[in-house]
Amino acid sequence: MPDGTSLNRGGSKLKPLGHPARLRHCLLSNQTVSELKVLTAKSATNYGFDVTDFKMFTHLNPLSIQVNIRHKNPDKKVTIDDCSILSQYIDEAIQGSSILDQP
């Protein structure tokens, strides 16, 4: 993508976030989605990236999140290693929060 790189681009598979959904479709409140977006953006910013796109796939079991990023430094390209590392940071931030534990 010209404006960013997807964390699951290039065949890289990310581990599932949160508790596996028991239903076919995972229903999340708008507040939960907003909190996940903010947490993801903060994690990216802390490590020198901007989030260019955020998508949630609630029809998948478990829930999947796709985050497209770019370096804050326009001279740098995003690498698959950047994606892998940031994916771990975002996962740790989500797991350390109570966002997905909300009713």
Give yes or no for a contact between 63 and 21, defined as CB atoms under 8 angstroms apart. yes
| Domain span at 11 | 5-101
Partners of residue 45 on adjacent β-strands: none
Name the pLDDT band for 102 (thresholds 50, 70, 90).
low
Partners of residue 6 on adjacent β-strands: 68
pLDDT at 26: 55
pLDDT at 69: 96
Is 70 exceeded by the pLDDT of residue 32?
A: yes
Total of domains in the chain = 1
Average pLDDT across the chain, whole number? 78
Length of the chain: 103
Lowest mean pLDDT among 1-10, 63-72, 90-99: 1-10
Residue 53 belongs to what H/E stretch? strand 49-57
Give every CB contact of residue 30 below 8 A, 6+ residues apart in sequence: none
Q: Which residue has the higher pLDDT, 19 or 73?
A: 73
